[in-house]
């Protein structure tokens, strides 16, 4: 009796929770089924969400994996890809990969190889990758995938969305595969995956309601790294009272200010189609991130990785080369990776879960990657803080003891140049990045 009452209570709670979540359209709901269905893998053990878990901001949720190689095993044992899963949320506005004023923009994956040329939508094109990738869900072909879906509980929903008879695996497995991809992309673009419910988003709304443009926030002058004084109408101190703490505001200002972190020159603060910033320009850069020595791909059999530990990830340049572009096109792109959104960078299942950062997961905390930017900026400027008018670093402290702080870049060319910013701003920027997690209580 007790058990029945408990069950009834649980059912009620479950109903209440699902009812309060954003309503999904039929195609989004279908995409959600496909995204979470472990039956859609060779031994029914893996779904997209194993590597893109909502509670980890739609990236890898496994602390041990993240703390080491940061690459997730596919459905088959000892089958590893070569990169860290980026978030699959907030990715839907990346355009088809193309050259814009001499720089590559758009596409999907760290190297842009899901260009979007084939389906006119990089997100849908990406969604076709994992199911048949032998190092991921490893299903032999589209026909097997189709029959698996046909046996699934949502086969009816599929035909509701795509028409009666649309699940014809014998005649049209390829067409079904495209519909699968478009359904997943619809889910990935839904409000459930892109809710804009972070502390930052509430601040953005409140500041806007007071006539303030957050995309213009700057440090202002003053004695410290981000002084907030002076006459600049957009200095951070003029944004007080709209929901962010002083430290978070200084971090945001340093993030945006071209004379400090200058992060927003790539991780854009300009609002996207939904009216909120996406924290990316969908462009490609080489930050000079070192190799991750624990990457399991180094010890994959030669059939997958003939180069062993000497394997180098050339990112976009490597893709363009393999796609047949001439040397003068790919050479300048060697070592560049797609600039990721920073939404949910800190979101994790619990505080003790490690998250990895960068295309190979070399960094194990936000502090360490932001410190790396600080270090890169210091190296680029010869550690001469005073000369750059940024203040705080002291006039010309020299590079003593700093030069060897990080191993050499994986690809030591086409490096993006970095601004120097004072050490204390590393902590402020990290505090700001932590405001980008969805699920902040909404009033
Ligand atoms: C075994 C782990 C794994 C599985 C399973 C997996 N992914 Fe991924 N995903 C990755 C990795 C790793 C990358 C980056 C690969 C690269 O750039 O070469 C990635 C990249 C992506 C991206 C690109 C994001 C961007 O901004 O470029 C999206 C979107 C995505 N995955 C969605 C999916 C979907 C949808 C599925 C299921 C059909 C799926 N993933 C299954 C590991 C996985
Ligand atoms: C020149 C463009 C550029 C600038 C400037 C820049 N970034 Fe990045 N950022 C990138 C690219 C590209 C990557 C991915 C690089 C890689 O993995 O090799 C990245 C990765 C990151 C990541 C890891 C995200 C993840 O999911 O793995 C964080 C965090 C980050 N940047 C924060 C910052 C901060 C903070 C600043 C300013 C101090 C900054 N970025 C400045 C382009 C830039």
pLDDT digits 0-9 by tens, 45-98? 999 999 999 999 999 999 999 999 999 999 999 999 999 999 999 999 999 999
Helix (H) or strand (E) holding 284: strand 284-285
Among residues 185, 198, 186, which one has the least CA distance to residue 343?
Answer: 198
List, chain by chain if needed, residues with CB within 6 Å of any ligand 2 atom.
86, 255, 261-263, 265-267, 285, 287, 289, 337, 339-340, 342, 345, 357-359, 366, 369-370, 373, 416, 429
Pocket of ligand 1 contains residue 37 by CB under 6 Å: no
Which of 60, 107, 132, 136 to probe ligand 1 with, by most ligand atoms within 8 A of CB? 136
For the chain, the straight-line distance linking the first and the last C-alpha, in angstroms and rounded, comes to 39
- Distance between CA atoms of residues 284 and 110, nearest Å: 9
Ligand 1 atom at shortest distance from the alpha carbon of 110? 17
Closest residue to atom 6 of ligand 2, CA basis: 263
Nearest ligand atom owner, CA of 124: 1
- CA distances (Å), origin 201, targets 42, 48, 90, 320: 40, 27, 14, 36
- The answer to whether the beta carbons of residues 361 and 382 sit under 8 Å apart is no
- The three-state secondary structure class of 186 is helix
Ligand 1 pocket check for 74: Cβ under 6 Å: yes
pLDDT at 8: 46
Helix orientation angle between 26-36 and 155-162, rounded to the nearest 10 degrees:
140
Domains and CATH numbers, the chain: 24-188 (1.10.760.10), 199-283+343-436 (no CATH), 285-338 (no CATH)
The H or E element containing residue 105 is strand 103-105
* pLDDT of the residue at 326: 98
Residue 316 Cβ inside 6 Å of ligand 1? The answer reads: no
Query: Rounded to an integer, what distance in angstroms lies between the CA atom of residue 11 and that of residue 75?
Result: 32
Using the mean position of ligand 2's atoms as its centre, give its distance from the Cα of residue 429 in Å.
12
136 pocket-lining for ligand 1 (C-beta < 6 Å): yes
Question: Could you read off the pLDDT of 396-428 as tens digits, one per residue?
Answer: 456 777 888 999 999 999 999 999 999 999 999
CA dihedral over 318, 322, 325, 327, signed as positive or negative: positive
d(CA 106, CA 339): 10
pTM over 0.85: yes
Report the pLDDT value the prediction gives residue 222, as an integer from 0 to 100.
78
- Atom 28 (ligand 1): residue with closest C-alpha? 88
For residue 422, the model assigns a pLDDT of: 93
Q: How far apart, in Å, are the Cα atoms of 67 and each of 46, 177, 180, 246, 407?
A: 21, 35, 33, 31, 18
Closest CA to ligand 2's atom 13: 339
Q: Residue 398: its pLDDT value, please?
A: 64
Burial class (CB in 10 A: 0-12, 13-18, 19+), 83: buried
Query: How many Å separate Cα 181 from the centre of its chain?
Result: 19
The CA–CA distances, whole Å, from 352 to 63, 64, 348, 435, 441 equal 8, 11, 9, 18, 21
**Averaged pLDDT in 10-residue chunks for the chain of 443 residues:** 46 42 89 97 95 98 98 95 98 97 98 97 97 95 97 96 97 97 98 98 98 97 84 96 98 97 97 97 98 96 95 98 98 98 98 98 98 94 54 52 90 95 96 98 81
Helix axes 366-380, 424-433, angle to 10 degrees: 140
Cβ neighbors of 8 (< 8 A, separation 6 or more) are none
Burial (0-12, 13-18, 19+ Cβ within 10 Å), 45:
middle
């Amino acid at each position: 009796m007790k058990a029945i009452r408990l069950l009834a209570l649980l059912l009620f709670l479950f109903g209440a929770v699902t009812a309060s979540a954003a309503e999904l359209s039929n195609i989004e709901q279908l995409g959600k089924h496909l995204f979470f269905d472990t039956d859609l893998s060779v031994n029914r053990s893996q779904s997209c969400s194993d590597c893109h878990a909502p509670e980890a901001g739609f990236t890898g949720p496994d602390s041990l994996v993240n703390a080491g190689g940061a690459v997730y095993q596919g459905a088959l044992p000892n089958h590893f890809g070569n990169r860290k899963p980026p978030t699959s949320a907030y990715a839907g506005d990346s355009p088809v990969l193309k050259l814009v004023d001499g720089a590559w923009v758009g596409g999907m994956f760290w190297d842009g190889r899901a260009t979007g040329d084939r389906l006119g939508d990089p997100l849908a094109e990406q969604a076709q990758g994992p199911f048949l990738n032998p190092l991921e869900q490893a299903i032999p072909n589209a026909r097997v995938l189709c029959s698996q879906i046909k046996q699934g509980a949502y086969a009816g929903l599929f035909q509701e969305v795509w028409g009666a008879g649309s699940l014809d695996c014998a005649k049209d497995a390829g067409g079904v595969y495209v519909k699968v991809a478009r359904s997943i992309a619809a889910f990935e673009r839904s409000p459930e995956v892109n809710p804009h419910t972070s502390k930052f988003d509430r601040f953005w709304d409140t500041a806007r309601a007071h006539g303030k443009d957050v995309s213009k926030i700057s440090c202002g002058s003053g004695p410290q790294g981000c002084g907030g004084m002076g006459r600049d109408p957009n200095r951070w101190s003029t944004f007080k009272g709209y929901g962010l703490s002083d430290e978070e505001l200084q971090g945001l200002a340093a993030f945006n200010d071209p004379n400090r972190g200058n992060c927003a020159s790539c991780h854009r603060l300009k609002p996207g189609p939904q009216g909120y910033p996406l924290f990316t320009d969908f462009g490609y850069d080489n930050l000079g991130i070192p190799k991750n020595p624990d990457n399991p791909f180094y010890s994959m059999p030669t059939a997958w990785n003939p180069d062993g530990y000497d394997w180098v990830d050339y990112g976009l340049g490597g893709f363009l080369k393999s796609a047949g572009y001439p040397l003068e096109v790919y050479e300048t792109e060697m070592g560049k990776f797609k600039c990721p959104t920073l939404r949910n960078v800190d979101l994790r299942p619990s505080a003790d879960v490690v998250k990895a950062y960068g295309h190979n997961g070399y960094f194990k905390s936000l502090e360490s990657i932001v410190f790396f930017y600080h270090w890169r900026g210091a190296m680029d400027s010869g550690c001469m803080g005073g000369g750059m008018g940024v203040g705080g670093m002291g006039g010309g402290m020299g590079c003593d003891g700093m030069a060897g702080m990080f191993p050499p870049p994986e690809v030591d060319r086409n490096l993006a140049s970095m601004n120097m910013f004072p050490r204390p701003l590393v902590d402020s920027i990290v505090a700001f990045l932590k405001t980008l997690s969805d699920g902040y209580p909404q009033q």
